[in-house]
Structures are given as structure tokens and as C-alpha cells.
Amino acid sequence: MNSWVDAIGQERAVQLLQQAVALKRIAPAYLFVGASGIGRSLVAKNFTQLLFCADLPKDKQISVRQKLQTGNHPNLLWVQPTYLDCGELISASQAAAIGLKRKALPQIRIEQIRQIHHFVSRPPLEASRLVVVIEDAQTMTEAAANALLKTLEEPGKTTLILIALDADSLLSTLVSRCQRIPFYRLSQLNLQRVLKTKGYEEILEYPEILALAQGSPGEAIASFEQLQAISPDLRQKLLQPPNCSLDALQLAKEIERQLDIQTQLWLVDYLQYYYWQKDRQQNMMKQWEKTRQCLLSYVQPRLVWECTLLMLSTVNS
């Protein structure tokens, strides 16, 4: 299990949670709010370990840590957004591993909330409580969010941790039942420190990636990996405005064929920043925003990119 020390810049959140355990004032539910990639999941893992190890002798604490590291602790249920594929729920990492592509983004579904209900209905096995962690809670469908209220109203011996971008993205009735723990973006100095510690010094050579990260080490690393995953040929084409309409249409076809929708959404942010630094064209910035909204609204991706790249070729001609 990672150390609390790794939660750079989140000392206040760590202090609040450690005090809760020390004073035995553990809330039935917590809401970790803040940008992705700044340590929310890391702190959730360490907090879970602290809850499970409280009042245990050292020899048993070692066993707890080992089970948490391997993801085999019977008292922990970690829930992530999923795709629904042929009746089965598949996480984003599983989808990527099998090459499954979806136009829609993964969600926390009502089937997963039912799994949570079943999990919390049984007594704890190897600790005094159960812990349920819900990542990207803002992706919950309305039905899932309403169903979760029942568990929050009667948590029993369960501590729930909801991880979300902000409180406004959740039902107010959910938020009111949680103790909010804020997480903050890192300063540029701390961001660089974390990236160096994790062996990602190369990212420091990409100012556009550091700008996109906005103080989030996780987002910086994810953006760097996204960029590296795009073929060098396509990457080179993207960083030069299309010379003509035919080039724009061909590039749109390549983007739609090679990149899934999540990568395309990331690419919009990356290119928006890149071209703003290059040309400072206000009307093009509006077009990038429109591109993002159209992709999120499930407009046919190739058509969206054709419109954007045609305009880019015109602006830079």
C-alpha cells in the first residue's frame, strides 16, 4: 500500500482523516472532491488501510496490507465506472485490454449499486467495518444515484467513500449525507517534484501537457501516455493545419479510425491549447469548444472532425 507521504499537497485531507480514526469519529460516508490525478484514490487506499488496521496487533496489520495490495481484502469493495457489453459490466481498463471501443463514456450503473447493497448486507469478516469506494461518482446514472441513497441512509458497519470531481456533479441528497474532504491541485513546483519522483522527467519538456494538467500529476502522466499512444505519423499531421479541404477530410478519417472517443476528447483539449499558443485565434477556440460538445453529445465523430479541420485549414490558409 502506498504511503501517506506520497500524497504531496494533500496534507490537510490526510490530517482530517487521521484525526477521525484517532478520535474514533469516523463518518459513515465521505466525499473526496477535486480534480483527477491529485491523490484522491491514493488517500482512499491509505485511509482504508488505516481503518482496517486500527486496534490490530502489528502481525495482523501486515496481513491486512498484503491483502489490500493484491486487491483481495474481503472487507473492501472498490467500484469503478463500467461499460455494458453483451450484458456484462466491463471497466475502462478491461475494455482497453481487450480492444473494446465505445462511443459513450463509462458510468456507475444501477447494477453496481445493487452489488454494493448485497456487499454491505453481510457482516465484516476480517475487520470491524466494511469499506466501499466509488471512483468517478459523478458518472452515476440517475437511477444509480437514487438507489445509493438507501445505503447512505442505513450504512450499518460500512464506511462509504465517494470520489468525484466536485459536489455539484452529484445529487444534493447524496452530498448532504457525506463529510466532504477537499483535494487541491498542486503548485507547479510540487507538480514537477512529483513527476520527477515518479520517473517522468520527460514530461517537463512538454509545456502544453503541464498546462493541461493544471497541477495534477495524474493528468500530466495520463496526457503524456495519451500523446505517446498516438502514432508518430498522425501526431505530426495534427500539429500542422491541413493544407486543403482534401487533407482535412483525410485527417478526420484517420482520427476517427485510429482513436477511441476518450482519446478524441483528450485530443481536443491538447490541440486547443497547442493552437492557441501558436496562433491566438479566438474563433478557432470557439470551434474547439463546439467540437468537444458535439463529441460529448454523440454526434458522428468523423463529421465533427471534418467540420473542425476544415475550419482550421481555412483560418490558417
Domain 4-182 belongs to what topology? Answer: Rossmann fold (3.40.50)
How does the average pLDDT of the chain come out, rounded?
90
Q: How far is CA 164 from CA 11, 37, 38, 77, 92, in A?
A: 19, 11, 12, 17, 17
pLDDT per position as a tens digit, 13-56: 999 999 999 999 999 999 999 999 999 999 999 999 999 998 78
Of 98-102, 139-143, 165-169, 219-223, give the lowest mean pLDDT range.
98-102
C-alpha to C-alpha distance for 302 and 314, rounded to whole angstroms: 18
Is the model more confident about 276 or about 80? Answer: 80
Stretch 114-140: mean pLDDT: 92
Return the C-alpha cell found at 80.
Answer: 469503478
Average pLDDT over residues 89-110: 79
pLDDT at residue 178 is higher than 70: yes
Contact call for residues 268 and 305 (beta carbons, < 8 A) = no
Q: How confident is the model at residue 8 (pLDDT cuts 50, 70, 90)?
A: confident
Q: Is 204 exposed, middle or buried (0-12, 13-18, 19+ CB in 10 A)?
A: middle
Q: Confidence class of residue 1 from pLDDT cuts 50, 70 and 90?
A: very low
- What per-residue confidence (pLDDT) applies to 59? 83
- The whole-number pLDDT of residue 275 equals 87
* C-alpha to C-alpha distance for 285 and 279, rounded to whole angstroms: 10
Give the C-alpha separation, 253 to 310, whole Å.
12
**pLDDT value of residue 270:** 92
Q: Residue 114 and residue 17: Cα distance in Å, rounded?
A: 28
More confident residue, 70 or 282: 70
Distance of CA 252 to the CA centre of its chain: 27
Amino acid 213 reads: A
Asked whether residue 102 carries a pLDDT value surpassing 70, the answer given is no
Question: Could you tell me where the beta strands, DSSP code E, fall in 137-223?
Answer: 158-164, 179-182
Specify the pTM.
Answer: 0.77
Question: What average pLDDT does this structure show over 199-219?
Answer: 91
The pLDDT, as a whole number, for residue 103 is 62
